[in-house]
Amino acid sequence: MTKTISVTATAEKTPGAKSDAATTTPVKLKRGRPPKSATKPVATDADTGATLEPAPKRRRTYTKKAKAAENGTSLGVDEGVFFTSRLSALEADTTQFVPGDEDISMFEEARAAASISEGGVEGGGTTPSTPSALASTVEYQAKKIQLGSYVIDSWYLSPFPDEYSRHNLLYVCEYCLKYMKSEFTFKRHCQRCEQRHPPGDEIYRDDNISVFEVDGRKNKIYCQNLCLIGKMFLDTKTLYYDVEPFLFYILCENDEQGYHFAGYYSKEKRSSMGYNLSCIMILPSKQREGYGKLLIEFSYLLSKKESVPGSPEKPLSDFGLLSYRSYWRRAIYEILLTCDGAVSIDDLAAQTGMTIDDIISTLQTDGMLHRMPGTPGSYAIVANAKKIKEYVSKAQEKSPRRIDPCKLRWAPFLIKAPLSAAPTNRRRSTSTALAISSTLVNVTSDNENDK
């Protein structure tokens, strides 16, 4: 929108010229802008009335620098005087700010001391910024976590983000597993957190023990936090953020306040090697309560539900190998005590959910598997029934809590066709494996040879 404004322009009077009448010229202007003047302002002398010429623009020059440029020479640091129009010669002298040898030595000492205190290399090491670099230093790690009412010391380095790794103690919510670096934030989160159990489906409950199945694709943040906490107590764990191909089974203790995290194990959704467990971890505050063997037994219960024998992912850690050998020995011994006459390796695999390799390895470790003379490919289990009964009774007293299959409410994630023989994880010849699985193994009680 434009507005028409009338502007009166008066011509300048000159000697001997007649004055013209004032003319009115319409000018269209945009709203918000002042009208342009018809004539430029002219400077005049107040006394004589003569017109003054505009002063030429002058550039700011430095006399000493210009003379040096004309002579073809350059100024040194000690010869240069800057801002002479504003500063005195003493104030413009910058030579006093040039660091000397003493200043340089003091700087090097301070930098070396700061590098040592930050865990770097003496002599000016840089501060690491990546998670792998942080894990290589001792200072940059979360040494403790507060989970619920427990303050737990970490065993190994865990690649938390940089802003969290610099803190000695991290606060973790025992329900959603969110980690925080300040106690104030943690208390405020506990007041506002509405989650009282792990995300996913509760597939097992027995008294105060519950197990939840959590999909890594549907609950990515929760599973990533779970892996970061698990790395603090597992040396061989290398996967933290790629959780989508895995299922997580969370063991909790339930009460009137909610479901408290105690441990977990994970497994692949599609395992080409037939693994039923990839990683298992029990919190140090919940160990010595039989939860490790409880989760191992639960993993084999799911394998039997799928009608596919399973095995843990190899290689096993030292604690994992001890736990699994203890469970394998107990599971096999309980079947040998209840069997009538003869049992085959396939029967043991079907009743325990174990693979043929794990069964044979356990029997060979205990010295119970012997080749029958005169019959190639036939084996016999030679064991002392009294020792087996004593071992089973002690194991039941030590770990009385067992998994009840009737309380499982679960359907396989992927429906598989039942296999006649379990997949072998080690490179064993096919003919040998088939010969062992198809041969009846006689269970005898040899009191003379206590095997």
**Enzyme catalytic residues:** 313
**Residues near 370 by beta carbon (within 8 Å), at least 6 away in sequence:** 379, 380, 381, 382
Q: Given the DSSP bridges, would you call strands 144-147 and 169-172 parallel, antiparallel or unpaired?
A: parallel
For the beta carbon of residue 67, count every other beta carbon within 10 angstroms.
Answer: 11
Compute the Cα dihedral for 113, 118, 122, 127 and give only its sign. Answer: negative
Supply 52's token pair.
């003054």
Single out the residue of 309, 344, 276, 332 nearest to residue 420, CA to CA. 309
Other CB atoms within 10 Å distance of the CB of residue 77: 8
Q: Is 317 exposed, middle or buried (0-12, 13-18, 19+ CB in 10 A)?
A: middle
Q: Give dist(CA 209, CA 403) in Å, integer.
A: 10
Residues 431, 451: Cα–Cα separation, whole Å: 28
Give dist(CA 413, CA 251) in Å, integer: 19
Which residues does residue 5 pair with via DSSP β-bridges, in sequence order?
Answer: 27
* Coil/strand/helix, residue 229: helix
| Cβ-Cβ contacts under 8 Å for 107 (sequence gap 6 or more) | 99
Residues whose CB falls within 8 Å of the CB of residue 267, separated by 6 or more in sequence, listed in order? 246, 247, 249, 275, 276, 277, 278, 299
Confirm if 264 and 280 have CB atoms less than 8 A apart: yes
Cβ neighbours of residue 321 closer than 8 Å, sequence gap 6 or more: none
Report which of 282, 284, 420 is spatially closest to residue 356, judged by C-alpha positions: 420
- What whole-number distance in Å separates Cα of residue 225 and Cα of residue 359? 35
CA distance 250 to 226: 10
| In the block, residue with structure tokens 């792990």 | 198
Taking the C-alpha atoms of residue 427 and residue 263, their distance in angstroms, rounded to an integer, is 33
What are the φ/ψ torsions at residue 274 (nearest 5 degrees)? 75, 25
Torsion sign (Cα): 351, 356, 362, 368: positive
Both structure tokens of 99? 């660091």
